A and B are shown apart, each in its own frame.
Chain A
Amino acid sequence: MFEKFFYSLFIILGILIYTIAGSFPQSSGLSPSLYPRIIAIIIMILAFSLIVKSFKSENKEKNFTKDFLKDDGNVRSIIVLVLIIIFAIMMPIIGFILSTFIFIIILMRILNIRSLGKLAVYSISITGLIYFIFVNLLSVPLP
């Protein structure tokens, strides 16, 4: 079920692309709208074929949506994702070092490192190492 939903999203995308591309100005030679439109058509054809194909292998299909949230693991993935997003948002606010430090702790906790000692040691050392290597040694700009 999810598969079909996923691909149909792309059919909609294809239609969107095609329409938006129509507003591009024409020019001599090939116009800017031609290539995107061809791509849009290709995407739609392929997405459609994939939907048809998923009908054929109906039986083998994992029941995606229903069981998706039941699976602990998947919930974990979503949490990690949210964590990453929050991390990215927080960084300009509280600075790289602090947010990295907090992030490592939380992420490790999620991934099952329980002992406080380990958490502390790892987060401090990793944050420190990264700062040292990237800023001092390599002069790489940090976010």
Chain B
Amino acid sequence: MDFFELYQLGLPLVFNIQVLFSIALGTFIGIVFGSLPGLTATMGVAILVPLTYGMDPIQGIAALIGVYGGGIYGGSISAILVNIPGTPSSVATTFDGYPMTQRGEAGRAIGISVTSSVLGGLFSIIILGLFAPIIAQYTLRFSAQEYVGVTLFGLSMIAVVSQGSVLKGLFSGSLGLFLGTIGMDPVTGFPRFTMGQNDLLGGIAFIPVMIGLFGISEILIQSAENIKEISISQKIGRVLPTKKDLTKLFPVILRSSILGVIVGIIPAAGGTIANIISYGQQKNLSKHPEEMGKGSIEGLAAPEAANNATTGGALIPFLTLAIPGDAVTAVLLGGFLIHNLQPGPMIFQNNPDVVSAIFISLIVANVFLFTFAMSGANLFAKIISAPKNVLYPVLVILCMIGSYAIRNSAFDIGVMIIAGIIGYFMRNLDVPIAPLVLALILGPMFESNLRRAFILSDNVFYSFISRPISLFFLLFTIILFMYPIIKKFILRKMNS
């Protein structure tokens, strides 16, 4: 099946009222789910899968794909507007998105994030179409060593990404690493640091921590302000990014999309990792790194493009090898099976029309995403300028629902509250909170793969260097880590 057939075959399948409607509905639900802190894209897809049972396959899959794209984007809305990432894939979006809202530029921020996300998503679909089979071969070669490289890379980004003192950022990250060790040991199953609590055996769920750390702490801090009906008036108006903005952002978006696709392709690495790595990259490469974290549009566009670019990327190993590229595609696998579709090499031959329909649905979903989010942008900005004393109680409740809903666990609500307290103190002391969440997510991945690597091979250290992909990641990490230091060094030499 050549490139053009890929996009042609599915056209009649997708372009009928029912399917288009499903995609639209799915995208809308996805956006809503993503934007509510605690409800994630993965959850949205999971909840919707059984609902699509009655639909015919193309329609059902199309709807799920809509939820996927919408969900990954949705997290950015709350990230920008209230500094609470709606999904883990929008953590880095808070860094520059929220300051823009604080300046009254919420509309512009949403406009930029939508545009970057949609462009990222569309880009990833193009790559998906062009390279799917070829790339898939490489992901099969990923073993423990490569994952160590990837996670190490992600973790090192923490140092780069820390707003303010790097020392404090590392401190925050190390706390997250520790929290990640709580629970059953990945190799031996021995419970670590659980203090006899059964709820801790599975480890600390990171979503309640994220909600508490970002959300509850924000609410606590804001309560300290003497809130009458103060709100920041938002510049409602032009939401579509200006040509000037677009030209400035184009290289950023391109770079971030490439990164996002690559991360998406890596099984189990998805929007969350892409989001943060992209931000770190942008900070490294930017000509004005001091602007990042204060509302720079590059700082907003980079993570946004990357996290949506993972959608197409994650579909590559999923479609070609039935290996989920990230959490959402893992759930999507279930969706496919319900509709009697088996992803994998055979699907390209047996159901080329379905594959094509998927591609086209993804494109259509992105288009819907653009329309919905853009038209909603002014509405969202208005909602945020609602008086805080109404907004915050609602947020607290949403946070509670979100934390509970993950595992139907009241324990998680407790986790959220404790995380909120810790977050409150951290913020008062200017310790950045994002590194903690990131380390909490990446740390366990890093450790379990590191230990697997040790078990799998005899000559461990050699195994890291002899495998090309692993070596690549390790070198890349070292270079990136050293880059700011070397830059300073060279600048100093040039000045003297």
A residues with a Cβ closer than 8 A to B are 2-3, 6, 10, 13, 17, 20-21, 24-25, 27-30, 32, 35-36, 39-40, 42-43, 46-47, 49-50, 53, 64, 71-74, 76-77, 79-81, 84-85, 87-88, 91-92, 100, 103-104, 107-108, 110-113, 122, 126, 130, 134, 138-143
The chain B residue sitting closest to A133, CB to CB, is B32
Would A29 and B187 be within 8 Å (CB), given that A39-B174, A141-B408 are in contact? yes
Q: Which residues of A contact B451 (CB under 8 A)?
A: 29-30, 35
Q: Which residues of B contact A64 (CB under 8 A)?
A: 428
Can you spell out 29 A-B residue pairs with CB atoms less than 8 angstroms apart? A3-B429, A6-B425, A25-B188, A29-B451, A29-B454, A35-B451, A53-B167, A64-B428, A73-B223, A77-B220, A81-B420, A81-B421, A84-B396, A84-B420, A88-B413, A88-B414, A92-B410, A100-B397, A103-B393, A103-B397, A111-B393, A112-B226, A112-B229, A126-B397, A130-B398, A141-B408, A142-B401, A143-B400, A143-B401
Would A84 and B216 be within 8 Å (CB), given that A27-B187, A53-B167, A74-B224 are in contact? yes
Compute how far the CA of A76 lies from the CA of B193 in the bound complex, rounded to whole angstroms.
34
State which of A35, A53, A76, A108 has its C-beta within 8 Å of the C-beta of B224: A76
Compute how far the CA of A100 lies from the CA of B399 in the bound complex, rounded to whole angstroms.
12
Per the 8 Å Cβ criterion, residues 187-239 of B in contact with A are 187-188, 190, 192-193, 216, 219-221, 223-229
Inter-chain contact A113/B389, CB cutoff 8 Å = yes
Compute how far the CA of A101 lies from the CA of B318 in the bound complex, rounded to whole angstroms.
45
Q: Which residues of B contact A49 (CB under 8 A)?
A: 167
Measured CB to CB, the closest approach of chain A to B110, in angstroms, equals: 22
Q: Which residues of B contact A100 (CB under 8 A)?
A: 397
Inter-chain contact B390/A140, CB cutoff 8 Å = no
Compute how far the CA of A77 lies from the CA of B425 in the bound complex, rounded to whole angstroms.
12
Please, what's the 1-or-0 string for B421-451, where 1 marks a CB less than 8 Å from any CB in chain A? Answer: 1001100110000000000000000010011
Measured CB to CB, the closest approach of chain B to A24, in angstroms, equals: 6
State which of B190, B221, B229, B400 has its C-beta within 8 Å of the C-beta of A25: B190
Q: Which residues of A contact B428 (CB under 8 A)?
A: 64
Compute how far the CA of A36 lies from the CA of B47 in the bound complex, rounded to whole angstroms.
36
The chain B residue sitting closest to A27, CB to CB, is B188
State which of B29, B175, B388, B455 has its C-beta within 8 Å of the C-beta of A111: B388
Inter-chain contact A81/B220, CB cutoff 8 Å = yes
B residues with a Cβ closer than 8 A to A are 29, 33, 39, 47, 167-168, 170-171, 174-175, 177-178, 181, 185, 187-188, 190, 192-193, 216, 219-221, 223-229, 388-390, 392-394, 396-398, 400-401, 404-405, 408, 410, 413-414, 417, 420-421, 424-425, 428-429, 447, 450-451, 454-455
Q: Contacts A46-B174, A104-B397 known; list 13 others, CB within 8 Å.
A: A13-B178, A24-B192, A25-B190, A30-B450, A36-B192, A36-B193, A77-B223, A92-B410, A103-B393, A110-B223, A111-B227, A112-B226, A126-B397
Compute how far the CA of A134 lies from the CA of B402 in the bound complex, rounded to whole angstroms.
10
The chain A residue sitting closest to B180, CB to CB, is A39
Q: Which residues of B contact A111 (CB under 8 A)?
A: 223, 227, 388-389, 392-393
Q: Which residues of A contact B220 (CB under 8 A)?
A: 77, 80-81
Compute how far the CA of A32 lies from the CA of B228 in the bound complex, rounded to whole angstroms.
52
Q: Which residues of B contact A85 (CB under 8 A)?
A: 417
Compute how far the CA of A17 lies from the CA of B410 in the bound complex, rounded to whole angstroms.
26
Inter-chain contact B188/A43, CB cutoff 8 Å = no
Measured CB to CB, the closest approach of chain A to B211, in angstroms, equals: 12
Q: Which residues of A contact B390 (CB under 8 A)?
A: 108, 113, 122
Q: Which residues of B contact A72 (CB under 8 A)?
A: 226
Measured CB to CB, the closest approach of chain B to A13, in angstroms, equals: 8
State which of A36, A50, A81, A143 has its C-beta within 8 Å of the C-beta of B171: A50
Q: Which residues of A contact B404 (CB under 8 A)?
A: 141-143
Inter-chain contact A43/B401, CB cutoff 8 Å = no
Compute how far the CA of A77 lies from the CA of B424 in the bound complex, rounded to whole angstroms.
9
Q: Which residues of A contact B393 (CB under 8 A)?
A: 103-104, 107-108, 111, 126
Inter-chain contact A112/B228, CB cutoff 8 Å = yes
Could you say which of B390, B397, B424 has the most chain A C-beta atoms within 10 Å of its C-beta?
A: B397
Compute how far the CA of A140 lies from the CA of B106 in the bound complex, rounded to whole angstroms.
29
Compute how far the CA of A56 lies from the CA of B394 in the bound complex, rounded to whole angstroms.
42
Question: Closest 7 CB pairs between A and B?
Answer: A73-B224, A111-B389, A29-B454, A32-B185, A143-B404, A29-B455, A46-B171
